[in-house]
Structure 1
Amino acid sequence: MGAAAQCPAGGHGRPGPGPPPGRPPPGPGDDDGRSGLDGHPGGPPRKAGEPRDPLRGDRTGVSSQERKGPTASPPRVYIFHGEDELGCREALDSLRQRLGPPEMAALNTTLLDGRSVTVGQIQDACDTVPFLADRRLVIVEGLLSRLTSSRQKEVQALTAYLDRLPETARLVFVERGTLDEHHPILKKVRQHPYGYIKRFTPPHRLEGWIVQRVQRKGGTITPQAASALAEAVGPDLQQLDRELEKLVAYAGVGGTIQPEDVEQLVSAAQEANIFAMVDALGRRDGEKAARLLHQLLEEGQHPLALLAMIVRQFRLLIQVKELAGAGARAEAIARRLRLHPFVARKLYVQAQNFSTAQLERVYRYLLETDLAIKTGEMTDVVALDLLIAGLAPPPDPAALSQRRW
């Protein structure tokens, strides 16, 4: 973060500031709207603005509601899970950085694929003596989600090994989704004297997260620009972070990111957003929907991939419409359909542009279009153009009654 970028000449375009020399990037959840790793009770207090650090001076930060061991010693076994992949990645990066220089960290880090790894391989990696260091980092990705109660032998073997995990090991289990509270390894680590659990949850309000994230990068952004960026990119935090890097560098030292900066630098993301196309269809704005479609095609999106996106969007709209009709609000719909609250709110508003009967007819129309493309009845681009024309009726009332929906 904070790398200089090549930008246009003028008032904008000066390289944005990076983190102070010698200081690592901010830790996960620090000043960005998400709960982070709290200061370890045995370590020195964290100064205001200082990034939280999962391995600060071997006094690893722990959250009192997660860590319930009887000792203040640093954790040895971690579980990182949840939907916020950016926060999880930053936590792992911070752990790696505390192993020393990159070349030394690489020698003392082992990454294991949980889809195929065995408990024996995990044990071998953790029991290996660190090379010219006092600890070794072992990261296991995707194991716990497949270790259910039906695989008792593996669960028992792993549970038994965690009780004798060496002091030199830092074993981290990483899961991209949220684990069930009753998962046997989750329960074991929660009770482990050297256990630490962190659930990474996406921010509820993207705009607030964007403002605080920009501040962490040494810049400022107006609320209007933050809202425009949230609309443009959506809830993908990793993509948002990449866009913010460009915007902070573009605004320069002391500059403030404005809505026009977002429009200029993130225009492709904004115009290509699938929500914008469906919004246009819901407003019967065929011209804008067609323009967005062709912009996506020009940017290299495959026609069938676009069709799949539209199909998924209308399938979600049908589900949201049904739940809203039963009295559910956007927040409850987000939980029921396992959607990000930002996405659920957008769908909730979009669904109001259609009746249930219209949505069902649109969905059948989409399936017919998919079949026409796959059977060679028409080319994919022509089929998409006809689809947009069919879904966005002209303003003429007489013509409206002739449309398929």
Structure 2
Amino acid sequence: MTYTGDSFLNHIAKQPAAAAYFFVGPEMYGRDTCRRALVEKFLGAEAPEDAFVRHTLDELTMAEVLDDARAMSLFAAQRVIWVTRAEGALPRGRAAAAAEDEGAEEESPKASGDGSVQLAEYLKDPTPGVVLVFDSSRWEFEGEDKAKVERLRKYFAAVQHVVEFPRMDEGRVRRLTAELAKRAGIELDGEAVDLLVEATAGSAQRVELEIEKLRSFAETRNTKRVGVEDLERLVPQARSTTIFALVNALGRKDRARALDLLDTLLGEGEYLPLALGFLATQFRQALVAREAGLRGASQVQSHFQRMGVPMWPSRAEQVWQSAASFSPGQLREGLKRISATDRALRDTRPDDRVVLEEFVLGLTK
């Protein structure tokens, strides 16, 4: 049976825990929610520390994990054994080549590796009071990772309960952000929600962490409202809006505005190599959009998402505006200057401001 995060929560609330689960997919917020629900349901709030065990298949073999599952604990009547990096169990070398043979209709036990067979044997007679969770968050469900995920599914085919955690889409992250803010007792308007989602690259887990910090900030000011200006000061990468404004000024060859924005970055204490990294990303993505002949923000968003690059509408609009502001030659020249400026910043120099001003002057002449 295959579950979403939400359907797993319903399952675990109504049914006894199964002997084993397979968690797969890159999304971490839903995974953490499901892990907490499973542990609370199966172990309870007063469980001893030894009741929750962590292993990784990067360090242990499947046989060692199963040996632990079969062993009786002196201190915990029930245990949850959480096994991360489940993809580490996949066979390598010749066995992996055999498993990926396109001419084979079905993987043989030998091609799947002994671990898969051992797991299937264990699940025929699992240890009472033990729940095994095999967890893999490394790969996406689509794109280049799709075949890897399918191979992983085949390896863990004996585990009948599979919980999928695909990356959340933009709408769901925005709704979750608003919901988490409401729970935390803070008020975010639509623009602030957009900025927080973009600053966290659409990661619900990071959104949750940032909202907790914003809650503490709001309490110190005795207010519920958190505005865009607060986010720009408090949330890492939210200052990328200033970087985008700088890119636009460079594209217009507006030297005065570009120097003013540079002064803002310096005044905010921005880590300059990081700021240059943002600039380089903006230039590279704009160059890709130019060379692909994209027209408009919606095409930019679709193009990068097909490549497996997270791209929100507001970010796509920024990339499109940058692509429209520069020729391909100017973008390539900008990337060269960014690289040279980055090297100069890492040298022993008396004033970083001079280095950045030279960069701005070079692109606006």
Question: Which category describes the TM-score, using the shorter chain as reference length?
Answer: 0.7 to 0.9
> 1:396 maps to which residue?
none
Question: Equivalents in 2 of 1:127, 1:289: separation in Å?
Answer: 63
- 1:160 aligns to 2:130 (yes or no): no
> Do 1:108 and 1:137's aligned partners in 2 also have CA atoms closer than 8 Å?
yes
Match for residue 176 of structure 1 among 130, 133, 138: 138
The residue correspondences of 1:270-309 to structure 2 (distance < 5 A) are 273-284=239-250, 285-295=257-267, 298=269, 301=271, 303-309=272-278
* C-alpha distance 337-266 of structure 1, shift in aligned 2 (>3 A): same
- Greater share of residues in helix: 2
Once the two structures are TM-superposed, the CA of residue 118 in structure 1 deviates from its matched residue by: 1.8
Letter in 2 for 1:178: E
> Do 2:53 and 2:81's aligned partners in 1 also have CA atoms closer than 8 Å?
yes
Once the two structures are TM-superposed, the CA of residue 86 in structure 1 deviates from its matched residue by: 2.5
* C-alpha distance 251-366 of structure 1, shift in aligned 2 (>3 A): closer
1:307-364 alpha-carbon deviations (Å, 9 max, x no partner): 3443333223322332344898133222233211314454334322322121011011
Letter in 2 for 1:118: T
1:242-283 alpha-carbon deviations (Å, 9 max, x no partner): 23224456667xx9954x544236534388523431332223
The residue correspondences of 1:5-404 to structure 2 (distance < 5 A) are 36-38=5-7, 52=9, 55-56=12-13, 58-59=15-16, 74=18, 76-82=20-26, 84-100=27-43, 104=47, 106-130=49-73, 133=76, 135-144=78-87, 147=90, 150=93, 151-152=95-96, 155-163=112-120, 164-165=122-123, 166-167=126-127, 168-178=130-140, 180-182=145-147, 183-189=150-156, 191-192=157-158, 194-205=160-171, 206-217=173-184, 221-230=188-197, 233-248=200-215, 258=225, 261-264=227-230, 266-269=232-235, 273-284=239-250, 285-295=257-267, 298=269, 301=271, 303-325=272-294, 329-342=299-312, 343-373=315-345, 382-391=354-363, 393=364, 403=365
> 2:102 maps to which residue?
none
1:162-213 alpha-carbon deviations (Å, 9 max, x no partner): 2123242322223233254443331344x43633131231232343332233
* C-alpha distance 330-214 of structure 1, shift in aligned 2 (>3 A): same
User: Which runs of 5 or more structure 1 residues have no equivalent in the other structure?
Assistant: 1-28, 30-34, 40-51, 61-73, 394-402
RMSD: 3.7
Once the two structures are TM-superposed, the CA of residue 78 in structure 1 deviates from its matched residue by: 1.4
Question: Equivalents in 1 of 2:89, 2:357: separation in Å?
Answer: 43
Once the two structures are TM-superposed, the CA of residue 107 in structure 1 deviates from its matched residue by: 0.7
SS at match of 2:163: strand
Question: Equivalents in 2 of 1:113, 1:241: separation in Å?
Answer: 26
Once the two structures are TM-superposed, the CA of residue 286 in structure 1 deviates from its matched residue by: 0.8
Letter in 1 for 2:196: L
SS at match of 2:325: coil
> Do 1:222 and 1:257's aligned partners in 2 also have CA atoms closer than 8 Å?
no
> Do 2:287 and 2:331's aligned partners in 1 also have CA atoms closer than 8 Å?
yes
> Do 1:232 and 1:266's aligned partners in 2 also have CA atoms closer than 8 Å?
no
> Do 1:321 and 1:356's aligned partners in 2 also have CA atoms closer than 8 Å?
yes
SS at match of 2:136: strand
Q: Which moved more, 1:261-270 or 1:193-202?
A: 261-270
Once the two structures are TM-superposed, the CA of residue 132 in structure 1 deviates from its matched residue by: 5.6
1:134-176 alpha-carbon deviations (Å, 9 max, x no partner): 5422222224167266444684222112212324232222323
Once the two structures are TM-superposed, the CA of residue 55 in structure 1 deviates from its matched residue by: 3.5
Letter in 2 for 1:287: L
1:205-250 alpha-carbon deviations (Å, 9 max, x no partner): 3433322333454666443442343355542433322232244566
> Do 2:181 and 2:188's aligned partners in 1 also have CA atoms closer than 8 Å?
yes
Q: Which moved more, 1:87-96 or 1:268-277?
A: 268-277
Give the share of equivalent positions with the same residue, in percent: 17
Letter in 1 for 2:335: Y
* C-alpha distance 353-87 of structure 1, shift in aligned 2 (>3 A): farther
User: Which runs of 5 or more structure 2 residues have no equivalent in the other structure?
Assistant: 97-109, 251-256
* C-alpha distance 352-136 of structure 1, shift in aligned 2 (>3 A): farther
> Do 1:54 and 1:94's aligned partners in 2 also have CA atoms closer than 8 Å?
no
> Do 1:286 and 1:389's aligned partners in 2 also have CA atoms closer than 8 Å?
no
